[in-house]
Structure 1
Amino acid sequence: MADFNNRSVLKIESQRAWAQILQEIRELRICGLSIETTGPDPLFSSVRLIQLSLQNGCVYVVDLGELGMETLDDLAALMEDGQVKKVIHNAKFALSFIRESQGRRLKFRNIFDIMLASQLCWSGYYDLVPSKYVKNPWKKRIPDHSLEALAERHLGIILDRGCQASDWGAKDLTTEQITSAARYSEVLLLLQSILQELIVRNSLMRVAELEFRTISPVVEMELSGIYLDADAARELISEKEEQLVEVFLQLQVEAEKNGFVPIQREGKKSSRYLNPDSQEDVKRYLQSRCFNITSTRAEVLRELAMGGNIFADRLLSYRQISHQLAFLNSWLKDIHPADGRIHPQYFQLKAETGRLSSRKPNAQQAPKRGEEGLAIRRLFKAPPGKKLVKVDFSCIELRIMAFLSGDETMIKAFQAGQDIHKLTASMIANLPLDKVTKDQRQAAKIINFLLIYGGSAETLAQHAICDYGLAMSLDEAREYQEKYFEIYSGVREWQKRQVEAMNYTHQHYFHNCVMGTFCLPLTCTFTALGRRRVWPRFGVGIKASKFQASNMPSQGTGADLLKIVMCELYDRLDSEDAKIIASIHDELMLEVPEDQADAYAKTLSEIMNRIGSRILYPVPVTSEAEILSSWGG
């Protein structure tokens, strides 16, 4: 072994020394792990350097350019060893490279992710700092959970990123590169000790364990990706572009017919056209037509369109087509050259509720409603010999609300297997269930999903028009709201308790290198699993709304349920031909061999029903499974 600068940085130069270190780690049952790679993409790049830190302060460095890539086989086995705790910052990155090097599903065990632990411990907390704007003098400062920020915050150590951005694919690595990489690994076990204490003090052990387990299926989704028919996508883009031009010209004809004159803007090239992407142009045109509007939001335009305004109707179509084109072009751009599939990046804790989010591209934004939404989803196809299995929870938000609120009417309805939207419609309209119309059920669906989160009558009326095209006056919305909470009085009482709870505090623990471990009295909301979100208290009040008080426990509980399902499903998958490829809101999607699709659909449904019903007892949970050739059916 080579010793660098007497700092207990030891470079492993033989397979014998490597085997000895692995044995020492297994005896100690804990190590820190970081890696350096030749690039950020595990499908194109590879691991170059492995850094393993031990509790005695030693950091062992392995250069795979010297010791050989087969060393990764031993590292993969270590990742699957449940007797050894592996402490990693942003474990998803490291584990993606390790799994890809093996070309198979790995059962990662006993992982402690420093980044996820920090995000959990902060639980949505933020500071306010001065801004440069007079209108909004304060702005949020969201905590940084990078390894550099954590080392400085908790240990007072400044990590220099200089060598981290260097060429890790070079034939020979410098001493500075190796010692810099080792320094990043040195802090891992120190940080783990601090964050583990915060997890325990904040009663987040169960949630932390869930998040660490969820890394495995998230790695699988990112590496697997989803197939997009690029040729069909380009054809659809051409069609959408023609539609957009046609609607654009219709808008110009309508505007010119009614005397629209464009404004000459200083420093900009003049145009004789109304710009449908300009709120200023649209608002000025509609105001010139005697419509007293102050914004061009969708609900405003929808209301005008329902009143017969052709321009507003065309503008809504223009915006919809523009959104679809932006989505299609974004996804087409992200097709990976290695396998022709799209690989969205997933994030476990970017959302304060704990719901999965994604980007590059954002899988959560895939159009869904109507035939046009389905046409886009049909572009995402199962390869030959495969099927897509899509399973989602049925009415899970309302089932969670029944559990959280204990509302007897809701609980009994779900226990009896009733259609909750139809039941709501019949009770509001005082009609027998078999007399409820499709429109009445649709209106009840809007009412259900909005009012359980504390939505106002004004918001209810706006969403009915904007999202579903249903006319609902403000007086009607108020009447529906009043009747709804007469029917589901338990929900109303729960919402009142949530708002009242905002006036009380819980002790929440933090740590920094100056104060050590300390606690602050903060407003908290909780999920069924114990996940918490905290709000800072500035002056005499808190920065949280009635909606947030009701939304977080429900959305967060839904996130917990889906992650538990993902973890069990991942452990149950016994074939490399079956893969978890996407998680969108309340649904999971698998790509499986065609002749095994029925079996996997039943397995996933059974897992979702069992776990949901156990967590939300006495509310039964059901799911809906589909076997598809494409995401759109």
Structure 2
Amino acid sequence: AAVQEGGFAFEAVRAPKQIKATELADALRELFADPSVIKIAHNLKYDAQVLQQHGLTIAPYDDTMLMSYVMGAGLHGHGLDELAMRYFQHKMISFDEVTGTGKARITFDRVPLDKALAYAAEDADFALRLWLTLKPRLVAEHLVNVYERLERPLIPVVAAMETAGVLVDRAVLKAQSGELAKRLQILEADIHVLAGRSFNVGSPKQLGEVLFDEMGIAGGAKGKTGAYSTSHDVLEPLAEAGNEMVTKVLDWRGLSKLKSTYTDALPEQISPKTGRVHTSFSLVGAATGRLSSNDPNLQNIPIRTEEGRAIRRAFIAAEGCELLSVDYSQIELRLAAEAAGIEALIEAFHEGQDIHALTASQVFNVPMAEMTSEIRRRAKAINFGIIYGISGFGLAKQLGISNSEAASFIRAYLDRFHELRDWMESTKEFARAHGYVETMFGRRVHVQSINDKNGARRSGAERQAINAPLQGTAADIMKRAMIRMPDALEGAGLNAKLLLQVHDELVFEVPVAEIDASAELIKRVMQDAPLPTLTLRVPLKAEAGHAKNWAEAH
């Protein structure tokens, strides 16, 4: 431990031969709960989960990893090793140095006490040094509210979500794995027929040789290694141009990834203790403030494909419960209307109009009564594309139209909703001047290449500058909802348990008898999340669905 002026930084190390875990917990209990002593850790979520297993809770606390994230999102990493070097030019003892690597690696409880102590004490020491350095900077940069209202209070919510885990039906995964294996076998056979020989479809080197040398497909380019690139960016345009071979290769890759990442891997990731899959949510995973998920990544299961939905069917509720999925409807589009002050769209959202049909009508001068699904589809692509800074080329590719036609669509859209064009230009100007953009709650998202001489990098940064305030504000709103959710549910006497967050969606496990009451309360908490800090002119809308499995609930 390291102590300085009321601060207490800690790193938990077990040494059962020296003192029993129960005795240590009893000795620390009063200190960890003492309201006059701030407990400081780097990645407190992990430490809190470990201590919770021993019946210890921590309050009050600070997390130097989150402090760093709030000030430097998009600039650098936030691991303790990197920050110790960045701020103090100190190289930390690595985990590998104390536990070894490969077959020689030992578990931490077998590390000699002197080595374990040096490793843990250094962590505590530099967590405290970081706190003393970063705390005044948070104040100076006016980021205290972002840290104290959006980041720090989210720690126990996410820790509880990870601990809860989600039930997975092995039988559903096994059946889907078998189905994917059959489809992969058929695709592979088709690919071999088109190639005129057998080869390893999963080998980029072999695939490049077959596509560009043997089959003579145009568009191949060799990298520094002398091998052809077969990345998605290289192959996708060929597939869109109608090349059957490349289309089948991309289909094969997509199914192969689903099989290896989910249907085959998930059963191995079920905890023998709980019978559930426990993902890890990173609180510093994205520059915009979004959470990220890993081991396994449960935020990346496709929702729009039948294969992805089949995998989601494997995520189920416990006996007597259902999964309740509640997500924000078109939140980034609503926030774009808010940020730019687009009166026509704000009014349309208030009236509950079909926003894509409305924009199609206004941009393409088509009466609502004569609206076709194709015209609406084009408007929808522009609506969502614009807030991601889509180019004429990108829209053309998405809609299967010419670049000039796509560019004219974007011009017509921005002419009709000129407030959005003005907001986009002013946002880019702010980013060029300051190197960052802000969400409506004051979160900063750094945009490093906004003044880059390289046109491609600069264009990418400009797209990021436009989308980050919207995606970031949506992430902030979701965090506020998550932070308020435990007290709201407990206050209403409801037993809904938060299991997953997938950006704009929350997934709960809820007793069947409480579904309706839980859905109404959760929607209300989500819709009111910006208040009282932020009063939006545009209404937020949360939609709920429930079922025994995740696919049918969403």
Q: Structures share a fold, TM > 0.5?
A: yes
Q: Which residue of 1 is the match for residue 317 of structure 2? A: 382
1:506-556 Cα offsets, whole Å, 9 max, x none, are: xxxxxxxxxxxxxxxxx1211111111234579975965211111211111
Q: Is the aligned partner of 1:194 residue 2:133?
A: yes
* Counterparts in 2 of 1:331 and 1:463: CA distance versus 1, 3 Å: farther
Q: Which residue of 2 is the match for residue 484 of structure 1? A: 413
Q: Which residue of 2 is the match for residue 67 of structure 1? A: 23
Residue segments in structure 1 that go unaligned for 5+ positions in a row: 1-7, 11-24, 39-47, 50-61, 126-141, 257-261, 263-271, 465-470, 506-522
Corresponding letter in the other structure for 1:596: E
1:199-233 Cα offsets, whole Å, 9 max, x none, are: 11111111111211111111012111111111220
Q: Which residue of 2 is the match for residue 342 of structure 1? A: 277
Q: Is the aligned partner of 1:203 residue 2:136?
A: no
Corresponding letter in the other structure for 1:228: V
Q: Which residue of 2 is the match for residue 225 of structure 1? A: 165
* Counterparts in 2 of 1:397 and 1:377: CA distance versus 1, 3 Å: same
Q: Which residue of 1 is the match for residue 9 of structure 2? A: 32
2:25 and 2:55 in contact (8 A); partners too: no
Q: Which of 292, 316, 328 is 1:357 aligned to?
A: 292
Q: Which residue of 1 is the match for residue 526 of structure 2? A: 608
1:117-170 Cα offsets, whole Å, 9 max, x none, are: 122222322xxxxxxxxxxxxxxxx44531x44445445666545896486546
Corresponding letter in the other structure for 1:281: L
* Counterparts in 2 of 1:611 and 1:496: CA distance versus 1, 3 Å: same
1:482 Cα deviation from its structure 2 partner: 1.4
Q: Is the aligned partner of 1:119 residue 2:69?
A: yes
Corresponding letter in the other structure for 1:483: A
Aligned partners of 2:13, 2:77: CA distance in 1, in Å? 25
Aligned partners of 2:391, 2:243: CA distance in 1, in Å? 27
Q: Which residue of 2 is the match for residue 472 of structure 1? A: 401
Structure 2 counterparts to residues 412-423 of structure 1, below 5 A: 412-423=347-358
Q: Is the aligned partner of 1:592 residue 2:501?
A: no
Aligned partners of 1:123, 1:311: CA distance in 2, in Å? 41
1:612 Cα deviation from its structure 2 partner: 4.2
1:177 Cα deviation from its structure 2 partner: 4.3
Aligned partners of 1:409, 1:528: CA distance in 2, in Å? 21
Equivalenced residues, count: 528
- Aligned-residue sequence identity (percent) comes to 29
* Counterparts in 2 of 1:320 and 1:158: CA distance versus 1, 3 Å: closer
RMSD (CA atoms)? 3.4
SS of alignment partner, residue 431 of structure 1: coil
Aligned partners of 1:537, 1:382: CA distance in 2, in Å? 45
Q: Scaled by the length of structure 1, what TM-score is found?
A: 0.75
Aligned partners of 1:553, 1:283: CA distance in 2, in Å? 44
Q: Which of 40, 49, 53 is 1:87 aligned to?
A: 40
Q: Scaled by the length of structure 2, what TM-score is found?
A: 0.85
Residue segments in structure 2 that go unaligned for 5+ positions in a row: 100-105, 221-228
Q: Is the aligned partner of 1:253 residue 2:182?
A: no
Aligned partners of 1:184, 1:476: CA distance in 2, in Å? 58
Aligned partners of 1:605, 1:433: CA distance in 2, in Å? 30
Aligned partners of 1:317, 1:588: CA distance in 2, in Å? 30
Q: Which residue of 2 is the match for residue 185 of structure 1? A: 124
1:283 Cα deviation from its structure 2 partner: 7.7
Determine which structure has more spread, i.e. the larger CA radius of gyration. 1
Q: Which of 533, 537, 543 is 1:624 aligned to?
A: 543
Of stretches 179-188 and 577-586 in structure 1, the one that deviates more from structure 2 is 179-188
2:290 and 2:472 in contact (8 A); partners too: yes
1:318 Cα deviation from its structure 2 partner: 1.9
* Counterparts in 2 of 1:93 and 1:315: CA distance versus 1, 3 Å: same
Q: Is the aligned partner of 1:273 residue 2:199?
A: yes
Aligned partners of 2:210, 2:2: CA distance in 1, in Å? 68
Aligned partners of 2:494, 2:13: CA distance in 1, in Å? 27
1:383-434 Cα offsets, whole Å, 9 max, x none, are: 2111111111110010111122222222222222222112122223322224
Corresponding letter in the other structure for 2:473: T
Aligned partners of 1:229, 1:612: CA distance in 2, in Å? 37
Of stretches 353-362 and 290-299 in structure 1, the one that deviates more from structure 2 is 290-299
1:74 Cα deviation from its structure 2 partner: 4.6
The structure whose residues are more often strand, as a share, is 1
Q: Which residue of 2 is the match for residue 463 of structure 1? A: 398
Q: Which of 304, 315, 318 is 2:252 aligned to?
A: 318
1:97 Cα deviation from its structure 2 partner: 1.5
